[in-house]
Amino acid sequence: MAKKVYAITHNDLDGIGCAVLLEKVYPQIQTYAIDYRELNEVLPNILKEAGKETLVYLTDISLNEQQAQICNEFKVQHIDHHSSSMKLMSKYDWSFTDPSHCATYHLYNMLCQYANIQDYKKFVDLVDNYDTWGHGTEPSPEAFDLNRLLKMIGAETFVARFKLSGSVNLSKTEKAIVEADKFQEEQYLNFALSRTQLVKDAQGRNVGIIAAEQYTSSLGNFILNQVPELDYVVILDMLRDKASLRSKGKVNVGEIAKECGGGGHPKAAGFQMNEAALKAFWRSNE
């Protein structure tokens, strides 16, 4: 009987991409796809359930020092790509972080050492292309479509579909689902653009601020493209108490998010909105 394995992963395309690979390799795995803010509650419970002899994967999730200390008492493999996790790699041999590619990409290379999953290479490349936002450009249409499919059918169905086959050739039904989302997104982006407030921060930089809950990555880049004078965009998701930041590269929004208790990359970052984070955000712009 195959030994049971646990996985805690982020609930975006990269995190779910990790879930696909892990469930393909480990038939007995128990996967928990979560939002970042759930980690404090989920992590100790899963580690306790797993015990000290059962492998627990943590993928596409940054850990703070307190969480890392808890993990250090268990059999954990941490695979991430957020720069905020880099310091853990030098301290804990079970933690791996490389910002050059997404977590699904790194996990794939690790699992390929002992599992036959080479037919997932195209799937992994599309996840990587989307999650890194085309490594500095815009993701390919295929990468966009993969993320749309996840959004429309949900993580559970998405994992079940790709666990059976790594083919990224969408069926007629899947293509119709993706096209429906494209139309919905186009309507949403144009509506959100009309509600975007243009302000200057304390350093005189041009900022677009919008309250929105959907299509975060597409919306940020859409606004930046439609309003060329903007240096960065702040998208406030009031339902999830989350702020997402997107920039053209001149402003390192990853550093801004880090000051607010979050993290990310120079062009794409975010943080959970609370009183301390919001105060830190305005301080960072003084």
* pLDDT digit string, tens, across residues 17-28: 999 999 999 989
Q: Which residue matches tokens 């921060």?
A: 201
Cβ atoms < 10 Å from Cβ of 114: 8
Rounded to an integer, what is the distance from CA 253 to the centroid of its chain? Answer: 16
> What is the chain's mean pLDDT, rounded?
91
pLDDT tens-digit map of 217-240: 889 989 999 999 999 999 999 888
Q: For position 280, what pLDDT does the model report?
A: 75
Amino acid at 112: C
Question: d(Cα 12, Cα 155) in Å, to the nearest integer?
Answer: 9
List, for residues 225-280, the tens digit of each pLDDT value.
Answer: 999 999 999 999 988 888 999 998 889 988 888 888 887 778 888 888 887 877 77
Question: Looking at residue 258, what is its pLDDT?
Answer: 84
Strand 95-97 versus strand 242-247 pairing type: unpaired
| Residue percentage of the chain with pLDDT more than 70 | 97
- 249 phi-psi bin (left φ>0, alpha ψ -120 to 50, beta other): left
**Is the pTM for the entire model greater than 0.85?**
no
3-class DSSP state of 250: coil
What is the Cα–Cα distance from 66 to 239, expressed in whole angstroms?
27
pLDDT at 123: 98
Name the nearest CA neighbour of 85 among 71, 12, 167: 71
**Which position has the higher pLDDT, 188 or 86?**
188
Mean pLDDT for the stretch of residues 5-13: 97
Report the C-alpha gap between 107 and 117 in whole angstroms: 11
Q: What is the pLDDT of residue 278?
A: 74
List, for residues 151-168, the tens digit of each pLDDT value.
999 999 999 999 999 999
